[in-house]
Amino acid sequence: MSQTAAAPAAVASGASRRFLVLSAAMGSGHDAVARELVSRLTSAGHHAISLDVLDLLPAGAGRGLRSCYHAVISHLPGLYAGIYAAFFRDGVLPRPNSDPLAALAGGRLLAFAACAKADVVVSVFHLAAQVTGRLRARGALGVPSAVVMTEFAPHRQWLHPGNDLYLCHAGEVAAEIAAALNRPAVASGPLVARRFTEPPAPREAEHWRRRLAAPGRPAVLLSTGAWGIGTRLAKTAGVLDAAGYLPVVLCGENTRLRRALSASRRAVALGWVDDMPALMAAARVLVDNAAGQTAAEALAAGLPVIGYRPIPGHGADGVRKMAALGLSDHVHDAPGLLRSVRTLSAPGPARDRRIAAGRAVFAAGGISSLETLGVTPGAATARMTGH
């Protein structure tokens, strides 16, 4: 069904609902998913707004949390790995949780949801999932709460049995979450902007073809996320350059990284890019280190993904999970990287199979289960008393 046809149908049937989407400005991936979700819900005839869950924390706390995370993951990756192991991974010994932090946001969320007259609250960030799960479990939040995953390998801070529904990247992930929580979980596919599944605008496509024109040197994108985080990027670019490829490094907001790579003259170093679909169309492979939104966008655009030198914690787990699902390669050294780049950049069956596998993820159920969540009379009450 087209977007233009969906909106009148939803409104005419009386199915229009009010959605509150909880995101967090931790990089750009969660907000990108929130924007796409709001866009799809609005196109289907619903009312949807988004809110940063960090803004629900006491004054200054959210900004401090964001700054601390940015500093640690950028400059102290070993420390972040330890924090991730303690707070985010399962284990035999008791693990700390985010209950104290989630409790600080609960009251403000209830007030905002009431003011917005929300019919459904949707989390696209793990702290938000803990906030809604806690409130639903004790009956304080009287409308259903859903969680839309933004990672291929969700850690335990995403999971709370109080939430009503989980939407996941793939069926295997949904099965794991359903078994862990005894709650509904469905495969919806990653949420990426529709422009990644469509041919790029001719002007933008021509711009990148010209800019990356290097006869005999296929362009290889290196992703570092919105904050420009990565390990030994100059060395990786040098390996690709020496092997006859054109490394194109996405530096995001990291101007220092961009200047350093530009000075080396072994890579094309880019800052923030608005026309990513066209850039991806001009490249042959994405070398990724986080299995986040850029990797999902590459799958949608038909650009093969290789996981290499992942950032610690969720990045490493995500890269491993993507490879286990058959959606990417995970390589551990420079020779392995070059083998994968050669195989996946060249026309042929291996590249075609990988592109088809990536695009197949988006054939899942979409957000239909989210739109009907809690519609059945009495479902919300039964759900709360059943926990």
Give pLDDT, residue 1: 31
Give pLDDT, residue 380: 38
Give per-residue pLDDT as tens, 29-85.
999 999 999 999 999 999 999 999 999 999 888 899 889 988 988 888 889 888 888
Give pLDDT, residue 255: 93
* Same domain (yes/no): 228, 113: no
Span 103-121, average pLDDT: 93
* Same domain (yes/no): 178, 278: no
How many structural domains are present in the chain? Answer: 2
Phi and psi at 81, nearest 5°, equal -60, -40
Pull the structure tokens for residue 383. 């759900």
CATH number at residue 261: 3.40.50.2000
Q: Is 92 or 157 the better-scoring residue by pLDDT? A: 157
Q: Who contacts 264 (Cβ-Cβ below 8 Å, separation ≥6)?
A: 234, 237, 238
* Same domain (yes/no): 207, 303: yes
* Same domain (yes/no): 297, 284: yes
Give pLDDT, residue 376: 56
Tell me the pLDDT band of 95, cut-offs 50, 70 and 90: low
First to last CA, the chain: 36
CB 183 within 8 A of CB 165: yes
Span 97-116, average pLDDT: 87
Helix axes 99-116, 126-137, angle to 10 degrees: 80
Span 302-327, average pLDDT: 95
Span 172-200, average pLDDT: 92
Model confidence, pTM: 0.88
Q: Where are the beta strands (DSSP E) in the chain?
A: 18-23, 47-52, 120-123, 145-148, 165-168, 185-187, 219-223, 246-250, 268-270, 285-288, 305-307, 329-330
CB 300 within 8 A of CB 138: no
CA-based angle 64:68:71, to the nearest 5?
140
Q: Is 99 or 96 the better-scoring residue by pLDDT? A: 99
Span 99-111, average pLDDT: 88
CB 189 within 8 A of CB 364: yes
* Same domain (yes/no): 154, 226: no
* Same domain (yes/no): 234, 347: yes
Q: Is the pLDDT of residue 246 over 60?
A: yes
Alpha-carbon span 212 to 282, nearest angstrom: 8
* Same domain (yes/no): 260, 315: yes
Strand partners for 221:
248, 286
Pull the structure tokens for residue 340. 């994968």
* Same domain (yes/no): 150, 225: no
* Same domain (yes/no): 154, 238: no
Q: Pick from 146, 89, 142, 147: which is nearest to 114 by CA?
A: 142
Alpha-carbon span 194 to 1, nearest angstrom: 14
Pull the structure tokens for residue 323. 């490879």
* Same domain (yes/no): 184, 211: no
CB 294 within 8 A of CB 288: yes
Alpha-carbon span 280 to 298, nearest angstrom: 7
* Same domain (yes/no): 17, 128: yes
Alpha-carbon span 59 to 218, nearest angstrom: 49
* Same domain (yes/no): 30, 150: yes
Tell me the pLDDT band of 91, cut-offs 50, 70 and 90: low
Span 335-344, average pLDDT: 97
Q: Is the pLDDT of residue 13 over 80?
A: no
Span 9-21, average pLDDT: 71
Give pLDDT, residue 11: 46
Range of the domain at 250: 197-363
Mean pLDDT of the chain: 88
Tell me the pLDDT band of 97, cut-offs 50, 70 and 90: low
Q: Pick from 72, 66, 33: which is nearest to 311 by CA?
A: 72
CATH number at residue 18: 3.40.50
Q: Is the pLDDT of residue 10 over 80?
A: no
Q: What does each C-alpha distance from 63 to 28, 59, 332 come to in angstroms?
A: 15, 8, 35
Q: What is the DSSP letter of 96?
A: -
